[in-house]
Amino acid sequence: AQTVTQSQPEMSVQEAETVTLSCTYDTSESDYYLFWYKQPPSRQMILVIRQEAYKQQNATENRFSVNFQKAAKSFSLKISDSQLGDAAMYFCAYRSPGAGNMLTFGGGTRLMVKP
Amino acid sequence: GAGVSQTPSNKVTEKGKYVELRCDPISGHTALYWYRQSLGQGPEFLIYFQGTGAADDSGLPNDRFFAVRPEGSVSTLKIQRTERGDSAVYLCASSPGGATEAFFGQGTRLTVV
């Protein structure tokens, strides 16, 4: 079974600065998908960014980018030019191919943004 | 609808009671998922529907939990003889099927007192 670990329960960043959230995972599969989701107080999980394991190039979405290290089974999220609206819980998630969209989530990191 | 809708938003029930949680997926989405998120934790998979049938129910914790999707659209998660440990946010997600993005609802916060 796959496991996802987020070792940082809380992180804090100054507005306009850059912050990196860590995620490691354990799997014996060679092909899979990785995701970062944002969960604001509204509770709705919002997809931030996704990465296919077969792609060597790191995914980027505007101010969000990932550092995907397949051999190390590491998938960190970098948020540049942090904004107050970025404050939320962030979850790293793993999905096996052919498993529909069943996701295995990490325990989450609470990101606080200081004005 | 425009997004995944879950009702009620909050539910308080007494220990031992029966509850039903409803999920209205995005129109046309064939796949539907239920997750449970306990306080301070990440969501945990419960059950996955493809159309009307449960393709994978390996996440249901015990036989008090049951889910249906009789017409391949709306789904109901049913919990019998609720326990205080069932208190959590229950999240529903839907997707068009295949390896595509899943869209989440805002969840139902269940509190068992």
Find where tokens 């301070």 sit.
B40
Write out pLDDT tens, residues A86-113: 999 999 999 987 767 789 999 999 999 9
Q: What is the pLDDT of residue A99?
A: 64
Closest Cα of chain A to B78: distance in Å? 20
**Which of B111, B107, B43, B10 lies closest to A89, judged by CA?**
B43
Write out pLDDT tens, residues B55-85: 999 999 999 999 999 999 999 999 999 999 9
Enumerate the residues of chain A whose CB falls inside 8 A of the CB of residue B100: 101
- CB A24, CB A11: distance < 8 Å: no
Q: Is the pLDDT assigned to residue A83 strictly greater than 90?
A: yes
Q: Is B44 on the interface with A (CB under 8 A)?
A: yes
B46: nearest CA partner in chain A: A102
